[in-house]
């Protein structure tokens, strides 16, 4: 009897765990249904009552400041005409909700979109291609950054327009550079020498780190500077187990293990206010325009400069472009109106500028870049220069997994000195290729 009870107890517990995993589905379905009901309910209204404006939902996962900025744009659009009413809905867990909403009729009309997701979602037919609208309304693709549009495309179709573009550049502390009598580096060699000079140790304690090695995920960027491409020409396997990959690891080894310009974990867990770069404990790092407002806010005494990333041994430039866009849901019942909103925002210099100036994001729309706000401000120039050569991540649905689970763990072992360079590249290649294969698009 007791035995039976014990078994029963165990199996009940077991079941409840499984339910914990799988009930996510149900939960999301339940949560998104209120949102789901509104477009459906209103879907029929414009046909029945012609005077009433069409209501659109715009999903995003930016709260706080970002939400206010989105709402300002939405209000401006709503005021500009009386046929369409857009409402911004903050979805903290947007992608998970979209998964259930997309197929249950509750798809948002417009979505704030992390561009790299396009090649995972576009093949599933949940995003609406905009090529026809672009052609009809005479909007030229050459007004946008090629790479950003490429990232929003799949199978020859374009699925949205870029809202922001960004790329990492080299941030440096001007005060520390002046003390050491240094110029910002332009090559790997200069980067390594400068970092060595800027580093200050006190016994076993690192006081000022010359350069940050906090993120091994930046390998892609260094690898471009070494003249490499992360994936092969067929876009189905990694291509970093070669001399170029080795030259990146040699640079890292020299700076981290021989010159000791950094200590692993040095920046971990420091919040915005204690950021090592803000407090002058870090002299140089790669980061992007998204940090500008933080550094201006917390770094009262911080004088920093920005230069494009130093070039590799053969003079190759490299940085990774990222950013967001707006896309239209295939499940939307008002795609035409949704397009009107996207076009108003992202294909109109004035409106685009209103957004970019307010949110301090670099526009992906070139006419907006001609504005003195971006063109004449020296703070933007290094980023604009970097964006000229920055490349998006390879368009493979398994790329981020390959990087996160295959490549980066091996690089971390290398940085810890637990694995030599040759073994690191070999293992990263083997594991990375398998992850790419397992996560390849199947249709």
Partner 1 sequence: MLRSKLNGHQARMGYLFITPTILLFAVFTVIPVVMAFYLSFTNYDVLSRMDWVGLDNYRKLIADDLLWQTFRNVLYYTVIFVPLNILTSLLVALLLNRASKGVKVFRTLNYLPTLTSAVAAATVWLWVLHPEFGLLNGFLSYFGITGPAWLSQSGTAMTSVIMVTLWQAIGSNMVIYLAGLQGVPDYLYESAKLDGANAVQRFRFITWPQLRPTTFLVSTMSIIGALQLFDQAFVLTQGGPANATKTPVYLIYQQGFNQLQMGYASSQAFVLALAILIFSLINMKLSKAEESIV
Residues in touch with partner 1 (CB under 8 A): 2-3, 6-7, 9-11, 13-26, 95-96, 99-100, 102-103, 120-121, 123-126, 204-206, 263-266, 268-270, 397-398, 400-401, 405, 408-410, 412-413, 416, 418, 431, 434-435, 438-439, 442
Of 385 and 430, the one with the shorter C-beta distance to partner 1 is 430
CB within 8 A of 314, min separation 6: which ones? Answer: 226, 227
- β-bridge pairing 54-60 and 110-114: parallel
CB burial of residue 194 (10 Å; 0-12, 13-18, 19+): buried
Burial of 7 (0-12, 13-18, 19+ CB in 10 A): exposed
Q: How far apart are CA 274 and CA 276, in angstroms?
A: 6
Contact 402, 435 (CB under 8 A): yes
Whole-angstrom distance, CA of residue 242 vs CA of residue 327? 38
**Cα–Cα separations (whole angstroms), residue 15 to 9, 62, 136, 392:** 10, 36, 55, 43
Q: How far is the CB of 363 from partner 1 (least distance, A)?
A: 29
Using the minimum distance from each CB to partner 1, give the nearer residue, 11 or 314: 11
Find out whether 126 and 102 touch, Cβ atoms under 8 Å.
yes
Based on CB atoms, which residue is closest to partner 1, 97 or 317? 97
CB of 187 to partner 1, least distance (A): 29
Q: Shortest Cβ distance from residue 221 to partner 1 (Å)?
A: 19
CA atoms within 13 A on the CB side of 214: 18
Shortest distance in whole angstroms from residue 88 CB to partner 1: 23
State which residue, 1 or 233, has the beta carbon closest to partner 1.
1
Least distance to partner 1, CB of residue 29, Å: 11
Q: Least distance in Å: CB of 215 to partner 1?
A: 10
202-227 per-residue burial string, b: 16 or more CB within 10 A, e: under 16: eeeebebbbbbbbebebbbbbbbbbb
What DSSP string describes 239-284?
Answer: --SSHHHHHHHHHHIIIIIIS----TTTTTT--TTT-TTTTTSB-E
CB of 129 to partner 1, least distance (A): 16
CB of 343 to partner 1, least distance (A): 27
Nearer to partner 1, 24 or 183 (CB): 24
Q: Which sign does the torsion angle of CA 146, 65, 381, 176 carry?
A: negative
- Beta-bridge partner residues of 324: 114
Task: Tell me whether residue 95 or residue 379 sits nearer to partner 1 (CB atom).
Answer: 95
Nearer to partner 1, 54 or 102 (CB): 102
Reduced to 3 states (helix: H, G, I; strand: E, B; else coil), residue 326 is: strand
Cβ distance to partner 1 smaller for residue 259 or 385: 259
């Amino acid at each position: 009897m007791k035995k039976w009870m014990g078994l029963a107890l165990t199996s009940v517990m077991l079941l409840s765990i499984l339910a914990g995993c799988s009930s996510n589905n149900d939960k999301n379905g339940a949560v998104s249904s209120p949102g789901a009901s509104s477009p459906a309910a209103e879907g029929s209204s414009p046909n029945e009552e012609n005077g009433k404006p069409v209501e659109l939902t715009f999903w995003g996962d930016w709260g706080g400041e970002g939400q206010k900025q989105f709402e300002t744009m939405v209000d401006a659009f709503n005021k500009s005409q009386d046929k369409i009413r857009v409402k911004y809905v903050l979805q903290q867990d947007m992608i998970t909700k979209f998964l259930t909403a997309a197929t249950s009729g509750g798809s948002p009309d417009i979505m704030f979109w992390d561009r790299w997701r396009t090649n995972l979602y576009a093949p599933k037919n949940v995003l609406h291609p905009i090529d026809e609208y672009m052609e009809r309304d005479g909007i030229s693709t050459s007004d946008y950054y090629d790479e950003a549009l490429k990232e929003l495309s799949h199978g020859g179709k374009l699925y949205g327009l870029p809202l922001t573009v960004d790329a990492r550049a080299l941030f440096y502390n001007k005060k520390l550079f002046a003390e050491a009598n240094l110029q910002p580096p332009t090559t790997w060699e200069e980067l390594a020498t400068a970092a060595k000079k800027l580093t200050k140790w006190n016994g076993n304690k690192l006081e000022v780190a010359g350069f940050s090695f906090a993120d091994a995920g930046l390998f892609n960027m260094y690898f471009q500077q070494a003249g490499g491409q992360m994936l092969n020409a067929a876009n189905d396997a990694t291509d970093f187990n070669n001399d170029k990959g080795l030259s990146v690891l040699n640079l890292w080894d020299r700076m981290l293990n021989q010159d000791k310009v950094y200590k692993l974990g040095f920046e971990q867990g420091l919040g915005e206010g204690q950021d090592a770069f803000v407090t002058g404990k870090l002299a140089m790092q790669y980061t992007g325009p998204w940090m500008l407002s933080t550094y201006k806010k917390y770094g009262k005494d911080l004088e920093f400069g920005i230069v494009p990333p130093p070039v590799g041994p053969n003079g190759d430039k490299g940085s990774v472009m990222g950013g967001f866009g707006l896309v239209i849901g295939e499940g939307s019942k008002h795609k035409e109106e949704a397009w009107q909103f996207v076009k108003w925002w992202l294909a109109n210099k004035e409106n685009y500028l209103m957004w970019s100036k307010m949110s301090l994001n670099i526009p992906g729309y070139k006419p907006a870049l001609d504005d003195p706000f971006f063109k004449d401000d020296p703070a933007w120039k290094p980023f604009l220069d970097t964006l000229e050569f920055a490349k998006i991540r390879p368009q493979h649905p398994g790329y981020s997994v390959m990087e996160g689970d295959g490549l980066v763990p091996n690089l971390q072992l290398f940085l810890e000195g637990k694995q030599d360079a040759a073994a690191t590249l070999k293992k990263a290649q083997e594991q990375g290729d398998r992850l790419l294969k397992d996560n390849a698009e199947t249709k």
